[in-house]
Chain A
Amino acid sequence: MSGDALWAAVVVASVGCYLLKLAGMSVPAAWVEQPFVARVVDFVPAALLAALVAVQGLTSDDRVVVDGRLAGLAVAALALALRAPFIVVIVLAGAAGAGVHVLTG
């Protein structure tokens, strides 16, 4: 992707995300607080973040692959279950990924 296209994505997404925040502060509460809307918004992050975990952790181009990233995810899950702070989770996952890279050459 060209530098200009990257910049366009950065700016458009940033402005869009800001307008979503501003909309919440500005529109009548009743528009957003309908049960259906509230429920969809409540569950969108779970679906999307899980999809990102799967795509980032298990795919490469258009294929499903297993590599050091899966080890990183397993270590991260264990650390999260033990209520480790975010930064510890990230460092441990990175170390696991690097470890697999070193071992498998």
Chain B
Amino acid sequence: MLPGMTSSSAPASPAEPAAERIEATRLIPATPGEVFAVLRDPQGHVDIDASGMLMDAEGEPASAVGDRFLVHMDREALGDLPMGRYDVEVVITAYEPDREIAWTIEGTIKPPLRHVYGYRLEPADGGTLVTSYCDWSDLREDLRPFLTFPIVPESALKGTLGILDRTRTLRDAVGLGVAVGLYGIAFGAAADAAGLDAWQALTLSLLMFTGASQFALVGVLGAGGSAPAAVGSALLLGTRNTVYGVRMAPLLAPRTALGRAAAAHWVIDETTAMAVGAPDRELGRLAFWATGATIYLGWNAMTLVGALGASGLGGTAAAALDSVVPAAFLALLWPRLTTRGSAEPGVQRRVALGGAVVALALTPFVPAGVQVIAAVVAVALAGRSSTRTERPA
């Protein structure tokens, strides 16, 4: 046995770990429930395996001690023994929902070796501390001279936790992308109600690709506003993407001008939020591209569905559509007014109220659409920052 192979790397371990045990711990930015869902699922084990040995799995997700599922293994990936492909049965030995799951392996050697693999989950700031372990202190004595433990090196445990992290980031990003992509239906319908044809709606989703600005453009046009007023509102709402770009540039660090031009197109609220919220730079990039790609596809496809579906609707459906557009703006505005979405929700509410009042007050006196742009004067209500600490420029 190689010296040093049994060292533990578990800083969060509550007790001094036994010598015949390896552990690896990592903070995963997901709830214990979300992580546990992957770990109780046979396919989840195949998805996150870093040893390369797990080919496929069969069986239902585990739900109690004694549950079993089948895993198809390939020893070639490890290269220690000429075992080739074989099947093992995983037998659950510990099952505590959202806290711990452990299992032993019943494979080609009978009776079984009695080594245990498992995961322990602890809620932590920013996610869940996940500890992956392998324990062979209960190993069959008669086999000890013939076996080298651990079979799977500590680096594979660490690798598995890394993949678990990436899997979570990817699932979150794609999930958000699908949800946001669906909004495209509302935009397509709003564009149709405003008198744009399906091609114009699709062009906006393909080229402008920033929801609030797109809604603003068709909203002002739909209210009978002039083209300059409509373009002006879209551009004013687009300025926040400039700030996002500043934040994203060092994270994405595009190497070429073309790479920068491509990345810039997807710098919007959702991609920025997902990338900035990721635990490190690599996952931040993964979150940015995965969220961007999913939203871009969904948003454009759904825009077309909404635009084509809305044309040819009757009076009642048209009335429904009339109510959809202001509700869409309210839904875009809402998160900015809450403590979850904004650092200064009170000030945001004051500015929003000011903007609405200015727009309504000006409506009888100015050409349609101009009152929307004029409403930015309400930003003055924000005043000077009282809480924000000055960032070094």
Q: Do A and B come from one complex?
A: yes
Bound: A90/B325 CA distance, A: 8
Which chain B positions have C-beta within 8 A of A96? 323
Once A17-B235, A39-B382, A86-B179 are accepted as A-B contacts, the answer to whether A45 and B208 lie under 8 Å apart by CB is: no
How many chain B residues touch A (CB < 8 A): the figure is: 108
How many chain A residues touch B (CB < 8 A): the figure is: 78
> In angstroms, how far is the closest chain A Cβ from the Cβ of B39?
27
> In angstroms, how far is the closest chain B Cβ from the Cβ of A3?
8
> In angstroms, how far is the closest chain A Cβ from the Cβ of B306?
10
Interface string of B217-254 (1 = CB under 8 A from A): 10111111001001101111111111111111100101
Across the interface, name the chain B residue whose C-beta is closest to A93: B327
Interface string of B363-393 (1 = CB under 8 A from A): 1110010011101111100101100101101
Across the interface, name the chain B residue whose C-beta is closest to A26: B260
Which chain A positions have C-beta within 8 A of B239? 20, 41, 44
| Contact in complex: A62, B315 (CB < 8 Å) | no
Once A11-B207, A33-B391, A89-B331 are accepted as A-B contacts, the answer to whether A51 and B359 lie under 8 Å apart by CB is: yes
**8 closest residue pairs by CB, A with B:** A24-B245, A97-B323, A72-B323, A93-B327, A51-B375, A47-B355, A101-B319, A57-B326
Question: Can you list 26 A-B pairs with a CB-CB distance of less than 8 A?
Answer: A9-B227, A9-B230, A10-B217, A11-B207, A13-B231, A14-B204, A14-B208, A15-B207, A17-B209, A21-B245, A24-B246, A25-B248, A26-B264, A39-B382, A39-B384, A43-B382, A44-B376, A47-B376, A48-B355, A50-B352, A50-B359, A52-B220, A59-B363, A73-B327, A87-B182, A98-B323
A residues with a Cβ closer than 8 A to B are 1, 5-18, 20-27, 29-30, 32-35, 38-59, 61-64, 68-69, 71-73, 75-77, 80, 85-87, 89-90, 93-98, 100-102
Seed contacts A24-B243, A34-B393, A45-B237; 10 additional CB < 8 Å A-B pairs:
A5-B227, A23-B245, A32-B242, A45-B332, A47-B352, A47-B355, A55-B359, A59-B363, A69-B326, A73-B326
B residues with a Cβ closer than 8 A to A are 179-180, 182-183, 185-186, 195-196, 200, 203-204, 207-210, 212-213, 215-217, 219-224, 227, 230-231, 233-249, 252, 254, 260-261, 263-265, 267-268, 315-317, 319-334, 336-337, 347-349, 351-360, 363-365, 368, 371-373, 375-379, 382, 384-385, 388, 390-391, 393
